[in-house]
Structure 1
Amino acid sequence: MGNCWGDQVKAESPLYSTSGMNSKYSTQDQSGRSSSSSKVSMASVPPTPRSEGEILQSSNVRSFAFSELKTATRNFRPDSVLGEGGFGSVFKGWIDENTFAPAKPGTGIVIAVKRLNQEGVQGHKEWLAEVNYLGQLYHPNLVKLIGYCLEDEHRLLVYEFMPRGSLENHLFRRGSYFQPLSWNLRIKVALGAAKGLAFLHSAETKVIYRDFKTSNVLLDSSYNAKLSDFGLAKDGPTGDKSHVSTRVMGTYGYAAPEYLATGHLTTKSDVYSFGVVLLEMLSGRRAIDKNRPSGEHNLIEWARPYLSNKRKIFRILDNRLNGDYSLGGAQKVAMLALQCLSTEAKFRPSMNQVVSALEQLQTSNDTPKNPQPEFKMVSQHHSNSPGRSPRKSLDVAVNNKMTYPRPLASPLYS
């Protein structure tokens, strides 16, 4: 979600997703017949619609009445809030698995309902973009959009619920419900997110995500990563064009230098952002953190000298890994991050190449021999505090509610 230099700040919108939904949806051909599809190519659908009518007609998602979502979320009760930001709030709700009618809490399937705040910083244009892209694209590493509500002044989006929350929470929240991710899980999440971007960049899809960051990578119950929030996504260049010219939007600390300087957007802009997130996963540090000592506020500037030095790479690794990683594997991930962060876009790998590198790492001997067991929920107190007993599951928190704090990354302005 992002923004650029100007007068408006784009919202931070964490989304969430659930298992139990059919991984395929139905599309209709010109004769009105329905066919099951695992993905819909952007080549087969209209470009970003200029009117609400176009997007609603082309979208493969359900249209909900406002009253239905009001009932599903128990009247948007405060204790149903999963997260909030400049866009508004995200609420937890329940619907019937077959009819999609509102269901009682604890029955049917869980959904996440994003309600656009009329005074919020995320506008109608971004709302339309999300319906357009997520309504037409399917991939295991993209969050599933179940439906939307466009009724009077109400603008809502309905997603599958992601029980593990965002990657950002697992990397940066301390002393709460989230235990640090193991090395193996970090590689798994990085690979899943990379596959999502590679799908978007494919010749068939040709979409530039433009807002890749930890708060937009959501995790299901098995820590499978899915990309969320397509409000800033853009169609990639066509024909003999090398880039898309657009005003600069995104989140400070993640945007590629050439994009900031020229407004020229390419798939390599997403690759750079992926490199930033990969470095965050290695170090456990935010891309921009003004609370760090002088000289360490900008993660890339601080870490770059260590990334290519095998003797110094350990200095940037997250100490919450407790040494449970292969140094050879860490060096390979560091070099991959360094390549993605190349100042010149032409020297960055494609996302397909990134996927291949991470797959090789995942299947090689460069993984911990005795990985730590997967995580259990910890109490509200610091996970390292003595005498604290772990809870049963990461899905369960105090009052059966997960908390999703707003991301701290500084947004760009536009």
Structure 2
Amino acid sequence: MDTYIRSEREEVSKAQVFTYKQLQSATNNFSPLNKIGHGGFGLVYRGVLPDGRLAAVKLMDRQGKQGEREFRVEVDMLTRLHSPYLLDLIGYCADKDYRLLVYSYMANGSLQEHLHSKVLSSLTCRTLKGKSTLDWGTRILVAFDAAKGLEYLHEYVIPPIIHRDFKSSNILLDEHNDVVLADFGLAKTGADKIAGQPSTRVLGTQGYLAPEYAMTGHLTTKSDVYSYGIVLLELITGRLPVDAKRPPGQNVLVNWALPRLTDREKLAQMVDPYLRSQYNMKELVQVAAIAAMCVQPEPDYRPLITDVVQSLIPLVRQRRMGTPKRSVSSPRCVSSLLKSPTTQSPALKANIKTLQ
């Protein structure tokens, strides 16, 4: 198991330190043409570093203590944590009052862009030229990789880390559509993954917040599991978590979807129309069952993210074996999947069985 107890000076020294002028030059003076989105407390630009590498450069807002806190947390987290399922931090800039973060460039943008670009293109999303909506098989793989990222934070870091802002815009895809998690500025460590953090300031994104966290500020790894369930609903339906343009009763995705997830006929009617019925019904039932468990109002009824990973492995194995780039050149190799147990938690098994 990795530990989160390392020398801060030793770990931060592994990140490259940039000057503001270097990053200003890399992004062509933060040209609007290079803007590729926004993260927590800052805009993100495509840049070319002095060594020729493509990078994503986040220019943090210069006002407010929260932006400074996010910068420090992000640098601290990503220089200590190392997983193929987390976005690589190349370096940072703390030049005078400028705060910038430099990440590996993810060529295929965010999951949010793929699922909702037509709705959000004028607000937050770049145009994904030449890219079609993700097919069903790719959505399964995205769901698995995202779960693996959370599993690393919850199960393989001591103490566990709660992302606190898990959402489709923080799930990034590379040129092979392999996934990493991003935006750790709101992340919190928890002494105990179940007991979690006592009452804390509520931060995050509307539509993804677990009910107990939104109402009381109580934060646990199960809060991330709820957010993960919302992302599964996005993958199934192609809908935004909150959409004021929808008819009454359909504005909040989880409220509309949850009663329908256990009805096969209604479930089929929920599927993203862009999939054009090109999906496996048995797999849809399984993913819907997982989503239904993850978004339970009571955190005790939600699975651990490890249970989710194990439940998805049977859906992923054949796809990874049939995709050489992912199984060979990508660190997400098939051998690591085959070594993992494929047992599902009893609760997830029961929920899937009721739909079949």
User: Which stretch of structure 1 is more off in the superposition, 154-163 or 85-94?
Assistant: 85-94
Structure 1: state its 5+ residue gaps.
1-38, 47-54, 96-101, 368-414
Cα distance, 1:210–1:321 mapped onto 2, change above 3 Å: same
Structure 2: state its 5+ residue gaps.
122-126, 320-356
Cα distance, 1:255–1:69 mapped onto 2, change above 3 Å: same
Q: Which residue of 1 aligns with 2:47?
A: 93
Q: Which residue of 1 aligns with 2:350?
A: none
Q: State whether structure 2 residue 116 is matched by structure 1 residue 172.
A: yes
> How far apart, in 2, do the equivalents of 1:179 and 1:356 lie?
29
Q: Which residue of 1 aligns with 2:338?
A: none
Secondary structure at the residue paired with 2:91? strand
Alignment-mate amino acid for residue 45 of structure 1 = R
Q: State whether structure 2 residue 284 is matched by structure 1 residue 330.
A: yes
Q: State whether structure 2 residue 150 is matched by structure 1 residue 193.
A: no
Match of 1:78 among 8, 17, 32: 32
> How far apart, in 2, do the equivalents of 1:314 and 1:173 lie?
23
Match of 2:223 among 259, 266, 269: 269
Alignment-mate amino acid for residue 250 of structure 1 = G
Q: Which residue of 2 aligns with 1:385?
A: none
Question: What is the aligned-residue identity percentage?
Answer: 42
Q: State whether structure 2 residue 138 is matched by structure 1 residue 138.
A: no
> How far apart, in 2, do the equivalents of 1:294 and 1:45 lie?
51
- Note the C-alpha offset of 1:203: 4.7
1:178-214 per-position Cα deviation (integer Å, ceiling 9, x unaligned): 4211000000111011000000001534111111000
1:121-170 per-position Cα deviation (integer Å, ceiling 9, x unaligned): 95100111100101111111100000000011110000000000000010
> How far apart, in 2, do the equivalents of 1:325 and 1:297 lie?
25
Alignment-mate amino acid for residue 41 of structure 1 = T
Alignment-mate amino acid for residue 181 of structure 1 = L
Cα distance, 1:170–1:336 mapped onto 2, change above 3 Å: same
Q: Which residue of 2 aligns with 1:296?
A: 250
Secondary structure at the residue paired with 1:244? coil
> How far apart, in 2, do the equivalents of 1:83 and 1:115 lie?
11
Match of 1:259 among 187, 194, 213: 213
Alignment of 1:158-169 (within 5 A): 158-169=102-113
> How far apart, in 1, do the equivalents of 2:157 and 2:36 lie?
34
The question of whether the paired residues in 2 share the 8 Å contact of 1:61 and 1:135 is answered with yes
The question of whether the paired residues in 2 share the 8 Å contact of 1:196 and 1:227 is answered with yes
1:62-104 per-position Cα deviation (integer Å, ceiling 9, x unaligned): 1112222222222222322222467232122112xxxxxx25x
Larger radius of gyration: 1
The question of whether the paired residues in 2 share the 8 Å contact of 1:86 and 1:122 is answered with no
Alignment-mate amino acid for residue 123 of structure 1 = G
The question of whether the paired residues in 1 share the 8 Å contact of 2:163 and 2:186 is answered with yes
The question of whether the paired residues in 2 share the 8 Å contact of 1:237 and 1:266 is answered with no
The question of whether the paired residues in 2 share the 8 Å contact of 1:272 and 1:342 is answered with yes
**Taking CA–CA contacts closer than 8 Å with sequence separation of 6 or more, which of the two structures ends up with the larger relative contact order?**
1
Q: Which has the higher helix share?
A: 2
> How far apart, in 1, do the equivalents of 2:186 and 2:180 lie?
16
The question of whether the paired residues in 1 share the 8 Å contact of 2:39 and 2:183 is answered with no
Alignment-mate amino acid for residue 234 of structure 1 = K
Cα distance, 1:65–1:148 mapped onto 2, change above 3 Å: same
> How far apart, in 1, do the equivalents of 2:157 and 2:246 lie?
43
Alignment-mate amino acid for residue 118 of structure 1 = R
Count of residue correspondences: 307
Cα distance, 1:86–1:344 mapped onto 2, change above 3 Å: closer
> How far apart, in 1, do the equivalents of 2:44 and 2:238 lie?
26
> How far apart, in 1, do the equivalents of 2:257 and 2:65 lie?
33
Alignment-mate amino acid for residue 136 of structure 1 = R
> How far apart, in 2, do the equivalents of 1:214 and 1:342 lie?
19
Q: State whether structure 2 residue 180 is matched by structure 1 residue 226.
A: yes
- Note the C-alpha offset of 1:58: 4.0
Q: Which residue of 2 aligns with 1:115?
A: 59
The question of whether the paired residues in 2 share the 8 Å contact of 1:211 and 1:232 is answered with yes
Secondary structure at the residue paired with 2:94? strand
Alignment of 1:321-400 (within 5 A): 321-363=275-317
> How far apart, in 1, do the equivalents of 2:315 and 2:32 lie?
43
Q: State whether structure 2 residue 6 is matched by structure 1 residue 45.
A: yes
> How far apart, in 2, do the equivalents of 1:72 and 1:122 lie?
26
> How far apart, in 2, do the equivalents of 1:287 and 1:199 lie?
25
> How far apart, in 2, do the equivalents of 1:119 and 1:166 lie?
26
> How far apart, in 2, do the equivalents of 1:208 and 1:361 lie?
26
The question of whether the paired residues in 1 share the 8 Å contact of 2:40 and 2:183 is answered with no
> How far apart, in 2, do the equivalents of 1:204 and 1:119 lie?
32
> How far apart, in 2, do the equivalents of 1:353 and 1:263 lie?
25
Q: State whether structure 2 residue 263 is matched by structure 1 residue 309.
A: yes
> How far apart, in 1, do the equivalents of 2:9 and 2:115 lie?
37
